[in-house]
Amino acid sequence: MTTRVRVNLANAQELLELPGITPTEVDIIVKFRAEHGPISDADQLERLLNRHPIPDMLKERADFVPSDSTAPEAPGA
């Protein structure tokens, strides 16, 4: 069984475990979470990274639950 990465709770190193994610994209994800809160789904991640479409392998490994919380760098955390 492949381990899923919790996009809204993962640190930068854990986000790099997502197939095809670059360090620059990790920075974009972390900055977005800090400024706007959790990423709701793969579609929002696609828009955020300006990648259409993101690879299926990435979608399969990304876990967006819980979508009501995020990593400690987010506002109010």
Give domain limits for the chain. Answer: 20-67
Instruction: Provide mean pLDDT across the span 3-15.
Output: 94
SS3 content of the chain, % helix, strand, coil (to 5): 40, 5, 55
Q: In this prediction, what percent of the chain has a pLDDT beyond 90?
A: 70
- Residue 76 pLDDT greater than 60, yes or no: no
Contact 39, 64 (CB under 8 A): yes
* pLDDT attached to residue 48: 95
Q: Identify the band that residue 46 occupies on the pLDDT scale cut at 50, 70 and 90.
A: very high
Query: Exposed/middle/buried for 16, CB within 10 Å: 0-12, 13-18, 19+?
Result: middle
Q: Give the count of beta carbons closer than 10 Å to the beta carbon of residue 2.
A: 8
* pLDDT attached to residue 77: 40
